[in-house]
């Protein structure tokens, strides 16, 4: 760390010299502007990055190097998460239908990017979303609401023996994924441009915790899908009524832990976070009751689905515990 003395000129202006080596390395010249960003700990950050770096704003993808549409989707998603605002897809020949459909699927599956230009051999995607318009706290709350809706729909499908309602649960998982991808994108953009964090009224540290929390919520959504899929097996086997009370109890308990863990985060409640961690072991016992129920089914063995449901509900509670541990880490 270099130490510089503060000087006063003109009676009211405070001046500090900057290290010559840093100035030359960053190619800063007389008259250039620098950004001054007050930090949460009281320190002051001096930066020459006054916006998103141009070299990182655009990413070009050569389809000649892409094996198939599945690979293209992974690359597009990676570009999105890493914060590229403009993606140019090129091909030396006419773009295959499968690749074109993949691009459309991508733009419909994430928040912000849209196709703004295309020909037979190139497509340009541009992100039209201002990241500050989607605060991370609202995204996390929205994801929790979606998970709550998935739980209600799953329990309704088991109660009514309704396969169609269970199918809707599986479809809602995509909405949760796209919200978590957005948070991942915002975090990477903040790492390069502190101005984005300031506009979103969140510190980089908070952003990292929001990323981890939304990741856990996204995993909870995945396990809700697992419960819905396996409940369809029980419905088709005609044994859902026998398991309904035990599943209702376990799901209610698990979602209670999830909701309280998110509440503990927003309230920064250390005591509540500790209570959730202590309560998780009670959920384990409740889930074991699901697995212990003997089912009489001649045509299909529902025990595998029964076990998957019990384990997925237990994992939901485990992720609530993980969120609670993050709360404790953040507060301490």
Angstrom distances, CA of residue 135 to CA of 30, 207, 266: 37, 10, 14
CATH number, domain with residue 253: 1.20.58.220
> Does residue 161 lie within any of the structural domains?
yes
Q: Write down which residue in 103, 131, 159 finishes a domain.
A: 131
Cα angle: 63, vertex 66, 70; to 5 degrees: 115
Pair 99, 170 in one domain: no
Pair 324, 186 in one domain: yes
Whole-angstrom Cα distance, residue 285 to residue 305? 18
Average pLDDT over the chain, rounded to an integer: 91
The pLDDT of residue 98 is above 80: yes
> Does residue 1 lie within any of the structural domains?
no
The predicted model gives 273-278 an average pLDDT of 97
> Does residue 151 lie within any of the structural domains?
yes
Pair 190, 310 in one domain: yes
Q: Check residue 298 and give its pLDDT.
A: 67
Name the one residue in this structure whose structure tokens are 């605060």. 135
Q: Check residue 53 and give its pLDDT.
A: 47
CATH number, domain with residue 61: 3.30.110
The predicted model gives 100-104 an average pLDDT of 97
The pLDDT of residue 94 is above 80: yes
The predicted model gives 302-331 an average pLDDT of 96
Q: Looking at per-residue confidence, does 18 or 313 come out higher? A: 313
Name the one residue in this structure whose structure tokens are 């849209």. 114
Alpha helix segments (H runs only) across 238-269: 240-267
The pLDDT of residue 56 is above 70: no
Q: Check residue 52 and give its pLDDT.
A: 46
Q: Check residue 57 and give its pLDDT.
A: 86
Tokens of 19: 């290290």
Whole-angstrom Cα distance, residue 50 to residue 196? 10
Note the pLDDT tens digit of each residue in 117-175.
Answer: 999 999 999 999 988 889 999 999 999 999 999 999 999 999 999 999 999 999 999 99
Whole-angstrom Cα distance, residue 223 to residue 297? 25
How many residues can be counted in the chain? 332
> What is the band of 208 on the pLDDT scale with cuts at 50, 70, 90?
very high
Pair 91, 149 in one domain: no
Tokens of 161: 């023996």
Whole-angstrom Cα distance, residue 279 to residue 252? 13
Pair 81, 110 in one domain: yes
Handedness of CA 199, 203, 204, 209 (dihedral sign): negative
Lowest mean pLDDT across 41-55, 177-191, 194-208, 315-329: 41-55
Query: Which residues is 47 bridged to in the sheet?
Result: 35
Residues sharing a CB contact under 8 Å with residue 111, sequence separation 6 or more, in sequence order: 129, 134, 178, 179, 181, 182
Q: Check residue 22 and give its pLDDT.
A: 87
Closest to 266 in 3D by CA, of 114, 166, 144: 144
The predicted model gives 41-55 an average pLDDT of 67
Distance of CA 229 to the CA centre of its chain: 23
Domain count, the chain: 3
The predicted model gives 63-73 an average pLDDT of 93
Residue 12: give the domain boundaries. Answer: 7-47
The predicted model gives 22-48 an average pLDDT of 82
Pair 298, 242 in one domain: yes
Percent of the chain with pLDDT over 90: 70
Whole-angstrom Cα distance, residue 186 to residue 191? 9
Q: Check residue 26 and give its pLDDT.
A: 86
Pair 39, 111 in one domain: no
288: number of Cβ within 10 Å: 13
> Does residue 194 lie within any of the structural domains?
yes
Whole-angstrom Cα distance, residue 207 to residue 140? 11
Angstrom distances, CA of residue 262 to CA of 86, 93, 111, 267, 278: 34, 50, 23, 9, 16
pTM of the entire structure?
0.86
Distance of CA 103 to the CA centre of its chain: 21
The predicted model gives 245-252 an average pLDDT of 95
Tokens of 150: 């998935």
Which strands, in side-by-side order, build the sheet including 86-90? 58-62, 86-90, 122-127, 113-118
Name the one residue in this structure whose structure tokens are 């998780």. 280
> What is the band of 239 on the pLDDT scale with cuts at 50, 70, 90?
confident
């Amino acid at each position: 760390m270099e130490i510089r003395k503060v000087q006063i000129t003109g009676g009211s202006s405070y001046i500090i010299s900057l290290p010559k080596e840093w100035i030359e390395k960053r190619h800063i010249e007389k008259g250039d502007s620098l950004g001054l960003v007050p930090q949460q700990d009281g320190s002051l950050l001096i930066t020459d990055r006054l916006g998103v770096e141009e070299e990182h704003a655009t990413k070009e993808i050569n389809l000649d190097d892409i094996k198939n549409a599945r690979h293209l989707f992974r690359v597009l998603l990676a570009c999105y998460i890493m914060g590229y605002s403009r993606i140019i897809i090129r091909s030396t020949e006419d773009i295959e239908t499968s690749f074109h459909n993949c691009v459309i699927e991508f733009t419909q599956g994430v928040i912000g990017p849209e196709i703004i230009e295309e020909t037979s051999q190139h497509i340009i995607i541009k992100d039209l979303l201002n990241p500050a318009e989607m605060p991370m706290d609202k995204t996390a709350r929205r994801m929790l609401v979606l998970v709550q809706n998935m739980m209600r729909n799953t329990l309704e499908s088991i109660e009514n023996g309704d396969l169609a309602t269970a199918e809707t649960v599986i479809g809602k998982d995509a909405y949760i994924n796209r919200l978590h991808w957005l948070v991942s994108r915002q975090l990477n953009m903040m790492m390069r441009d502190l101005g984005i964090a300031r506009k979103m009224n969140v510190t980089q540290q908070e952003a990292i915790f929001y990323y981890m929390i939304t990741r856990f919520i996204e995993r909870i959504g995945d396990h809700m899908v697992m419960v819905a899929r396996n409940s369809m097996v029980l419905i088709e086997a005609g044994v859902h009524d026998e398991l309904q009370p035990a599943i209702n109890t376990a799901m209610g308990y698990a979602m209670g832990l999830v909701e309280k863990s998110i509440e503990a985060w927003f309230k920064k409640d250390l005591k509540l976070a500790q209570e959730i961690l202590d309560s998780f072991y009670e959920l384990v016992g409740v889930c074991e009751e699901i697995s212990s129920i003997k089912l009489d089914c001649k045509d299909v063995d529902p025990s595998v689905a029964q076990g998957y449901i019990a384990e997925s509900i237990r994992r939901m509670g485990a992720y609530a515990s993980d969120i609670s541990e993050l709360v404790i880490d953040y507060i301490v």
